[in-house]
Structure 1
Amino acid sequence: MGQNDGPERGSDLNGVTRAGEILFAFTRERPEMGLTRLAAEVGLSKATVHRVAQTLVSLGLLEQNDQTRAYRLGVRIMQLADVVASSLDIRKEARSALRQLREQTGETVYLMLLRDNAAACAERIEGWHPMRDLSTPPGTVVPLHVGASGSAILSVLDTDALDAAVSGLDPERGAAVRRRVAFAREHGYAVARGDVSQGVGAIAVALRDESGAPVGAVSLGGLLERVEAAETQLAASVSATAAAVTSAMGWS
């Protein structure tokens, strides 16, 4: 490949794309490369690769050998890999318990994971009721001030996290979030009524890792009237499912 950023590589490559290409150039067979080799692998000029690589070094995503000046992947890549592995592990371990919860209740069940002050849907198993919750497909990211899962997570976080979650909301809505979180702290589960979808009720219980830190929540959603009528029983089922996931992950 040429050393210049020619048309064959696309003249509109932005910094993020270039950074990604440089990171993906490293393999088991090529764990460490000098500037010339790296530039050849990605088809960019040495000047461009040097500039982007130095930025990646500053972020800890690349490292540079003190003697040879060759580049290799940095330790922060391992941190990112741990995050991904954790997500995959919890999805795998939670799936059986989530399916059992769906069979017990007939409602749609969710595994929500805490991601950057929001709750991301990692798994959804649809219920079998004719009228069921079809909101929040996998990949959806919901602010912590919205929905039962967010309230459940906030209930095991500190006051600063709650304050941050409601900042920017109007006073009435912020007060409603605080009431839901207070309820969750008292009862061990959170309830939401029409937060994400009108006419849908939800119940959620927080998941904590071995250190006690929240990692997400198990939640259940269905027709509001149906959820409200069986709130106590459904909350017990969701709590049991959260306990089963915790046990499966080896968290105490």
Structure 2
Amino acid sequence: MKSLQRVSQVLDCFTAHEPRLGLNAIAQKTGMAKGTVHRVLSGLRDIGLVVQDGNRDDYRLGLRFLSIGGVILSDLDVLTHAREPAAALMHQTGESVHVCVFDGLNVVSIDRHEMADSRNEIVRLEREPPYCTGTGKAILAALSDETASALLPRDLKSFAHNTITSRKALFAELAATRARGYAIDDEERQMGIRCVGAAIRHHSRVVGAISVTGPKQRFPTSRIPVLADLVTATAARIGLSIELG
């Protein structure tokens, strides 16, 4: 139990205002000996919960926390509060609706609402890379560029002819997504398929995303703003529902 308490004390030192800390600072904050702090940090580093900056004696929380957080979120209020609004969005648009969370590597579909088979020409995977999907780009755009960059794979694999494989182009797209308030997947994950997605927020923090998806013939450029209004309104409704409990 004493070891767990030390781990908790060390992790509690990291905050939004102090995301990076050196060994001396952590020892001072916790009141532990430097040797003890070093042993705790080494153990946390070995399992991916903290990362040591290469050229500095600084530590920061590891991306494994995002993976853990994604698992927790998928079992919490997002799914409960999204189901009814997502079904309503499907009926409003006549298109497929997906609710997703982020596990630190991929966007994970936790709820979907599909129209009749005759209307669906889509095959969607349970887990997809964030940089080429409407929900994924909506989530990435809600983060800082530094955080988003750390979450992206080294190489952006191409899945369709419009997949963005340049980091420079992707961050330009994320900036455009922030400016307009919604993300667009224009045949980036799957040929012939378009998607409009918006981030779901709780207390101003992104906790997931929702999207409408369909064949490009039903997603002409002129229809995108109409769909975007419905998607963003639904995302806001879900976020408010989570907040009200």
TM-score (norm. length: structure 1):
0.61
Cα RMSD (Å): 2.9
* CA distance in 1 between partners of 2:74 and 2:165 (Å): 37
Does residue 216 (structure 1) correspond to residue 208 (structure 2)? The answer is yes
CA contact (8 A) 1:200 1:221 kept: yes
* CA distance in 1 between partners of 2:155 and 2:244 (Å): 35
Does residue 233 (structure 1) correspond to residue 226 (structure 2)? The answer is yes
Matches within 5 A, 1:104-143: 104-128=92-116, 130-137=118-125, 140-143=126-129
Find 1:161's aligned residue among 143, 147, 150. 147
Amino acid aligned to 1:148:
G
Identity of aligned residues (%): 25
Deviates more, 1:97-106 or 1:83-92: 83-92
List gaps (5 residues or longer) in structure 2: 1-42, 48-67, 158-163
- What residue number does 1:97 align with? 85
Q: Max radius of gyration: which structure?
A: 1
Distance 1:116 1:133, change over 3 A: farther
Does residue 149 (structure 1) correspond to residue 135 (structure 2)? The answer is yes
TM-score (norm. length: structure 2):
0.62
Matches within 5 A, 1:189-204: 189-204=182-197
Q: Give 4+ residue runs of structure 1 displaced > 6 Å after superposition.
A: none
Per-residue CA distance 1:185-230 (angstroms, 9 max, x = gap): 11000001112221000000011222x2211101110011322341
CA contact (8 A) 1:144 1:151 kept: yes
Distance 1:131 1:248, change over 3 A: same
Find 2:176's aligned residue among 178, 183, 186. 183
